[in-house]
Every structure is written in structure tokens, then in C-alpha cells.
Amino acid sequence: MPDPATENKIHEFSFSGNAREYFGIWIVNLLLSIITLGIYTAWAKVRRLRYFYGNTWLDGHNFEYHAKPVQILIGRIIAISLLIAYNVVAEFVPVLALVLLIPYLLGLPWLINKALQFNSRMTSYRNIRLGFVGSYGRALWVFIVLPLIVPFVAVTIGTAALFVFGSFQQAMGGAGMIVLPILGLLFLIGFLLFLPYISKQANSYLANGLRFGSSRFSAEIPLSALYRNLGFSMLPLLVIVALFVPVPIVMMMGLDAASDIAGVMAGIASFFVYLVLLVAYLAYSAGVRNIAFNATTIDGQHQLLSAVPRYGYAWVLVSNLFVSVITIGLMIPWAAVRTWKYLARHTAVRSATGLDRFTADQEAQGNVAAAEYLDIDGIDFGL
Amino acid sequence: MAAGFEGKLEGRYFVPESSFSHPASLEMRDGSLVVTIPETGQTHMPEFAELGDRLGNVPRKILFEDGSVFECPDNDAVDRAFHRELSFFSRMSRWEASWKFIVFACLATVAVVFGLYRYGLPVAANLAAWATPSGVVATIDRSTLDTVDRLVFKPSNLDEDEQERYRSVFAKLRSAAGLGDGDTRLLFRDGGKLGANAVALPGGTVILTDQLAQLAKHDDEIAGVLAHEIGHVTGRHSLRQVYRALGIGFMVAVILGDTSQLLDNIVSQLALLDTLSYSRKFENEADGTSVMIMNETGRNPLAFMDLIDRVFEEAGVENEQSGWLSTHPGNRERREEVIRRIDELPQ
């Protein structure tokens, strides 16, 4: 019998940490990591995640991170040894390195599953651990085949288009230089058209594999919303680029190409383009998070809610970047707390039955070396 | 571990394997821990398993063997009850909250990073370069040569007499630098896209391009350039550069590994600037070696600067000053520096 008081109640996430407190933890982590030539980074990682998880609250309870530092250290040593071994092979026997790429790509889905499993098993809420149940075939399709198909298709379309225009090219003679930018543009367009589909597949895989104790997460992510999100994230920025980038280029044409002013102009223009692409990417990922969360339920009774403002999120991250660089790193802890707080504030759970009726389940533990390998390689699923 | 438990803690008790919790208290009775749940009047006597480390104001968890958990937000009370005030992480939590310690940690971090960068890194790179087995270096040389032969160079068109002349010059310079036959060798190539240039590979292979040889008006000019490249070989500059870049990459990873990928990317780009400036330092060092062994073999140590000026003239590039983005020092500065070194030579 549902309790009327808790029926369809919205529980908001909140973050109780603050930049001052985290600064102390961060600087001690940093100092000890450097003095121990990196060994302490395992302890640092655990303390950092325990701090962020432990200060994240939902319905009066906090999250927890459970990995043990020695575990993380062993995982890192294994991951780094493999990376070094691969790079040595690549240096001395480049052909073998290329051949090894195939088993690497075939092994990656397994690694990703084991890493997801480990990271979720190490997370708990109300004494109940999260879990992840993956499938090798799905992971291979979502994380390897799909992302490889996209550039392949884009390049094929691009090459076909070039063949059509090939006669023009020959007529124009030395204008062969134009091939590269056209190919690049077609590639970009092809990639953008596929991106929402990849986002759907990847997020469905993650959301449907996730467990909370014996409860299942499930998600039906709408593709049309993802395409709309792409439009909202890219369009305003394309307009800005179209309006402003020609200015320095036109000015440059009037100048001696080798002159300092032209160089500075080119620098400003490329910085601007980089910034605009970064903002578009951040806005897009905030939108994907919202769509994926809002489509996800636990046991069909508890719905995740996310309402992160696209450009608000981009602003937080870009300004964090500038502040961190300008203060030569001193504001890094402030930036980390700010981002986490911002995301927590825009996330909630709508629950029909209250959040205290979950039960635990026995599940596979995952693999710490897999998790650390993906961590070191910078592959992040941003759950 | 829980033997010396003292006092009473107030908090929440999580039943094993469930997300359900009750307000509860924890105390020691007759040598065992007892959890009391006032709501129901129930008591539990689970066996103690582990006490979590202290961290900021994150509520403390006391774990029991049966999977149940007692959670207490009062970290000081937990430390007192379990006599953990002096444990490493409880002390660390107090340090992390103290302004004095934070200021000290900041200064210490800056000092250690600077020390490692300024002194530790060059010494480590040097040691690593000397410790690298010659077989490994020779393999690197072979694969690098393979690659550049395929991508950049073409076979040399210099006639055999000229090659022989440069080889004998090279042999004399090599002995003057204290190197043996197996330490370094001279090869000739058509420079292709690289044009007029000379390169030293990590294992001691020196490559002279046809284009540079053609620009030379006197053997001393080529000899000076070869002596400069021998300077790179004796100093093991390429290897040191490789190890330095690795070390910097490692430092960036340790310092920024925990922060956002965005910042990591930017700083990794900035680290390239370090490689550029360090390579200017190596160029100066190689110039120094060049001056020394040219003088020892009775040749004109300044001649190679004329050749270098001619290379830049030919390419139509002004290279008077050294920018902070250049790998080599600017020509005017470089000439002045070479003259200064010549003046300092013992007569």
C-alpha cells in the first residue's frame, strides 16, 4: 500500500561539500602524490571520490565510494605496465603494434564492461551497492563498431562526392588543395548526423545495464529528442561562427600572409573556433544527459530527472577552465566543487514508493585494472 | 579493534542488505558492541568489521560482519569512541582543515614541483639516457632512419670523392670529441622536403644533406656543422629530450590526473613549449662542443655560422631573434654566443 505522503514525491540531489574544505583535501592529495612520485595517486583518487560521493545527498542519505586504495594502485600498475609494453612494441616493431590493434579493439568491450561493473559496484547509496550487467556483443556494437562505421561511411560519401566533382578539379588544375577542406567538412557533417544515434545507443546500453541492488534501471531514450538537442546545441553557434570568423579571414587576405598581424589574426580565429566547438560540445552533452536521465526509471517506479541548462552548463565548465588556468591551478578545487554542485542541483528522483525499500543483490565485482586502464586513458562515461 | 570502545554514539542503523534505516545508538556492553533502536526497542549485537577512515565532514560508517552499517555524522565522537584521534587519516583530516597547514602544503607543493622540474627532471633524464642500453638506442636509430628514408630523404647524389673527404673530416672531429668508431657514423642523403640540414639521431648516426653540402663554400663550414651534430651525440641530447618529455608527461598526469579532461588537454599542449625551449638549450650546448673540437682540430670555429646564415638567406626566412616558439636560437644571438665561446678558449 503506497504511503500517500511519499507518493510521487520529488527528491532533489544536493551537495554539501565546499571549495574551502575540498581545497585542503586536494592540496594534501597533490603534495603526497608528487612526493611519492605518483604512488599516492591511488589514495588520492579514493579520498577525492569519497569526498564527492559522501557529500552528495538524496532524501537525507549520502552516496559512498568503496574502492580500496591498494586495489586501485594494483589496477593502475597493471594498466600502466600494459600501456608501456604496447608503446615499446610500437616503437620497435611498428607492424606488430598495428596487428595488435585488432585484439585490442576486440578486447575493449570486455574492458569497458569490467570497468563499468567495478565503478558501479564501488558506489553505494543507503547501504545498497550499484551494479552493472553488460553484454559483450552490445558493447562491441555500441562502443567499437558504431564509432568506426561513422567515419567509414562519412569518408565513403566524401570520396564518392569527390569523384563526381573530379572533372571540375582536373579542369581547375592546381586547385587540388581544395580536396582536404571539402573532405573534412563532409566528414564533420556525416559525424554530426550520426552523433545523436550513437548517443542513444551508448546511453541506452549504460542505463539498461545499471542495477541498484536487486532493482533494474531501464531506459527508452527518444531519438527525435536527441536530434532536436543537436540542433539546439549547434545552430546558435554555427550562426556565430558564420558571422564572425569571416572577419579575420577577410582582413587577413588583405595582408601579407607572412606578416605578424596575419599570424595573430589566424591565432585569434582558431582560438575562437575552438571555444565555439567546445561550447557546442558541452551544450550537446548536457542535453543528452537530460534526455537520458528523464527517460530512465528504476523498477518502473522511480524516475530520474535531470534539467541541466545547456548553456548554463557550458558556461560553468568554460569559466572553470579559464579561472583554473589564470590562477595557475589554485582554483581547481573550487571549479570541481562548482561543477559537481551544479549537476547535483539540477538532478532529482521522482518516486512513487519512497527510496528505502531496495534490497541488495550478489553480483560480479568487475575488474579494477580495466577500470584504471580506462581512467588513465581518459575514457570517461560521465555517469 | 573495537575492544576499547568508550561512550555512546547516536546515528542510523542500516539493516543488512536493505536500504531501510532506523535512528539508533551504539555502545559497548559486556565487551561487545550493541546497537539499540529506540523506535522498536530492538537491540542487535553484530560483530565489528571495520571503521571507515575520516574524511572532511562526510558521515562515518561503522561496518559489521553481517553487512549491516552504523552511520554517525559526528566524526569527533567516533574518533573518541574508537580512540582513533591519532590515526593517520584522522590527523590528516585535521591538517586538511587547518589554514596554516594548507598554506604550508601549497608552498611545499610549489617548491617540490619546481625542484623536480628544475633539478630532478634533468638529472633523471640524464641518468636514464646513460642507462639506456646501446642495443636499444641502435634499434631506435635503425627504425628512425627507416622511417625518414621512406618519408623524407632520397639517396645522396654527392660524388664519392666529396663523401670521402667529409668522412675523413668527420673521423678527426670524432676523435677530438673522444668518441670511438662505433659511437657515431656519418651518412649522406638528399634532404628532400627537409632541404639543407644536418641531423643527429639518438644512437649517434649523423646525416648530412646534399643541399647543405652544396651551399658550403669551405670545408670548415661543413666541419663546424658536423662538430655541432657530434655535440648532440656526446651530450645524448635526443635521448635526454625523449626522457624529459616522458617525465613532463608523467608530472602533468600526476598533478592533473584528477581534474577535468579539458584542463589536462590544454596543459599537455603547453608542455610542448617546454620541449621547444629545452631544445634551444641543447643547441647552445652543441655549439659549445662544436667550438671546442673545431679549435682542437685547428679549424675555424666560426665558419659554420656563415653557412647557417646562407641557409636562412636561401630559404628567405629572417631568423635574427629567437622567439619563444623556436627550437633554435636566433642567428644574431647565436653568432654572438659562438664568438663569446671562441674568445673564452684557452690560447
Instruction: Give the whole-angstrom CA distance, residue A192 versus residue A185.
Output: 11
Q: What percent of chain A has pLDDT over 90?
A: 51
CA end-to-end span of chain B, whole Å?
Answer: 78
Task: Please return the burial class of B202, using the count of CB atoms within 10 Å of its CB with bins 0-12, 13-18 and 19+.
Answer: buried
Closest CA to A68 of A33, A39, A42, A29: A42
B136 CB contacts (<8 Å, ≥6 apart)?
none
- How far is A153 from A161, CA to CA, in rounded Å? 12
Residues B209, B197 contacting (CB under 8 angstroms): yes
| CB pair distance less than 8 Å for A357 and B19 | yes
Q: In what order do the strands lie in the sheet with B154-155?
A: B154-155, B185-190, B205-209, B198-200
CA distance A188 to A238: 13
Probe site for chain B from A27, A76, A122 (most B CB atoms < 10 A)? A27
- A11 Ramachandran zone, left/alpha/beta (phi>0; psi -120 to 50): beta
- B198-200 and A128-132 as β-strands: parallel, antiparallel, unpaired? unpaired
Q: In a structure prediction context, what are the per-residue pLDDT tens digits for chain B, which is 347 residues long?
A: 566 788 889 999 998 888 888 899 999 888 888 999 988 888 888 899 989 888 988 999 999 998 899 999 999 899 989 888 888 888 888 888 888 999 999 999 999 999 999 899 999 999 998 888 888 888 888 888 888 888 888 999 998 999 999 999 999 999 998 888 778 889 999 988 888 889 888 888 999 999 999 988 888 999 999 999 999 998 888 888 888 888 888 888 888 877 777 787 778 777 777 777 778 888 889 999 999 999 999 999 998 988 988 888 877 665 555 554 556 667 788 888 889 998 888 76
The three grid cell numbers given for residue A90, joined into one nine-digit string? 610500437
pLDDT in tens, A280-301: 999 999 999 999 999 999 988 8
Question: Looking at CA atoms only, how far is residue B14 from chain A in angstroms?
Answer: 7
Residues with Cβ within 8 Å of B289's Cβ and at least 6 positions away in sequence, in order, are B177, B227, B228, B230, B231, B234, B235
Measured between CA atoms, the residue of chain B closest to residue A282 is B262
CB-CB under 8 Å, B112 with A38: no
Give me the count of residues in chain A.
Answer: 383
Q: Write down the domain spans for chain B.
A: 8-93, 133-344
Collect all residues with Cβ–Cβ distance below 8 Å to A230 and sequence separation of at least 6: A192, A195, A196, A284
Mean residue pLDDT across chain A: 83
Q: Do A127 and B257 touch (CB under 8 A)?
A: no
Question: What does the alpha-carbon distance between residue A307 and residue A12 come to, in Å, rounded to a whole number?
Answer: 11
CA distances A342 to A314, A315, B271, Å, are 11, 11, 31
**Is the CB of B102 inside 8 Å of chain A's CB atoms?**
yes
* B124 CB burial (10 A radius; 0-12, 13-18, 19+): middle
CATH 3.40.50.300 fits B8-93, yes or no: no
| Global ipTM | 0.81
**Cα–Cα distance for residue pair A199/A142, rounded to 1 Å:** 9
Amino acid A220 reads E
Contacting B residues, span 43-72, partner chain A, CB-CB under 8 Å? 55-59, 61, 67-69
What's the grid cell of residue B14? Answer: 542500516
Which of B59, B105, B261 lies at the smallest CB-CB distance from A27? B105
DSSP, collapsed to helix, strand or coil, labels residue A225 as helix
What is the rounded CA–CA span in Å between residue A66 and residue A75? 15
Listed in sequence order, the residues at least 6 apart from B226 whose beta carbon sits closer than 8 Å to its beta carbon are B166, B169, B170, B173, B186, B198, B206, B208
- Residues of chain B positioned with their CB less than 8 A from the CB of A37: 254
* Of residues A85, A80, A94, the one with CA closest to residue B140: A94
**Residue A123: beta bridge partners?**
A65
